Structure 1
Amino acid sequence: MTPLYFHIVNVCLHCTVTCLLMHVCQCHVFENRRLAFVTALLFTVHPVHTEAVSGIVGRADVLACLLFLLTFLSYIRSVSGRVSEDSLAFTVSSSSLFLSLLLGTCAMLVKETGITVFGVCLLYDALVLCRKPLM
């Protein structure tokens, strides 16, 4: 029951979330690698994350963020733009979509704000996927 171990786990989780955020920003949100790096850097050092990283109660915030990003990545993977030959519609990977629903539900159970990941997935679908040409 030494608090040092709780702090180490929280710092490791925060580092994992930061790396995952940079990957999401670099591969799926921004086209510029520097902008993705600056986004991850600001996320890392922002003072609002101090309580989440330093306190044991804040672990729920960090876990919800981790599950949020994993849900978003799984959703992107499920609608990864594979066009079927016989129709002009995107194919959907059922297993990745189910994993996305499962991870989103876990994010919601960890922290109630985790439900917002489903809204972000819908916005990504509406703003990004609907603009891509079907070629």
Structure 2
Amino acid sequence: MQTQTLTLLPHTPGIEHRLTVQRFGPPAAARKALIQAALHADEVPGLLVAAQLRRLLQALEAEGALRGEVLLVPYANPLGLAQLMHGQHHGRFDLRDGINFNRGFADLGAAVIEVLRGRLGGDATANQARVREALGQAAQQLTASQ
């Protein structure tokens, strides 16, 4: 198992949140699966399943039984997990403005379309690589501008 820790953009000055990604199986595998728990933060059953799944994936990886890469995000919403108020979990919504953490998706469509215009052809594998590259570039621009 490889563990990757991603530092999230600051929500509050001086407070840092991190996202943990646990990777199992061959990293260069063509097939990948992403499993995330507690996206809405207060989903305790998902946390328990992720903990058990981690043990099972570690065993399968040790046996060499994984043919693809599995990415496990055991706490997909660390900001939400940190929000407790009067004994209640309010992890789905930002306490500052009430906006749902899980609905603020970046729209990369326009940037990707602009980059890909006239660059796609009849080769599906080449097209897939170009689309992934364009998405990666758009995501990098998004993080660089924040």
TM-score (norm 2): 0.24
Higher helix share: 1
Tell which structure's C-alpha radius of gyration is larger. Answer: 2
TM-score (norm 1): 0.26
